[in-house]
Structures are given as C-alpha cells and as structure tokens.
Amino acid sequence: MQQISVTELFARAALEVDNRKLTGLSGETVISSLGMDSVATMELVAYFEEKLQIRIPDEDLGRVRTLGDLKDIVARLVPPGVQVTL
C-alpha cells in the first residue's frame, strides 16, 4: 500500500518551492504561521497536486488552516488504497 506523509511532503515542497527549511511539523501546525505569504502557500498546494495527481477544489482551499486540514482533504482525493498520514 502506498503511504504519503503530509508533513514530509510539505517540508519537501517548502524547500523546493520557497527555499525554506521547515522542521517540527505536525497536524496542529498552522500554515499561515510558517512565514509564507498566500502566493507561496498556493505554490505548495500546487506542488501537492502535481506530486499526488490530485486537484484540490478552490472552495476547499480556504478551509485549509492546519496541516491536519490539508491531510484530511488530501485523504479524500487520493485513489483508494493510498494511505495518507501526518
């Protein structure tokens, strides 16, 4: 079964997209507190979509406040059989 760790993928995305090294991420991490502006945050979302071959509806983007929220949305969109963890 394929496993995806949202915190690991998020950290990788932040490094690639925003040249930012993030550590200590958890489900409670509030994305807006990480010092990235809304454009950089959206670039991270686009990174997730590209790597996981999913499309997060725009109307759901406003509900993503924490990495836990992101994990819940990703888990809904990935194919069956893919396990999404924090």
At its nearest, how many Å lie between other proteins and the CB of residue 81? 25
Distance in angstroms (rounded) separating the CA atoms of residues 12 and 8: 6
Q: Is 58 in the site for other proteins (CB under 8 A)?
A: yes
Q: Which residues touch 42 (CB under 8 Å, ≥6 apart)?
A: 61
At its nearest, how many Å lie between other proteins and the CB of residue 15? 15
- Compare residues 1 and 39 and give the one whose CB is closer to other proteins: 39
Q: Residues 48-59, buried b or exposed e (16+ Cβ, 10 A)?
A: beeebeeebeee
Contact footprint for other proteins (CB under 8 A): 17, 37-39, 42-43, 46, 49-50, 58-59, 61-62
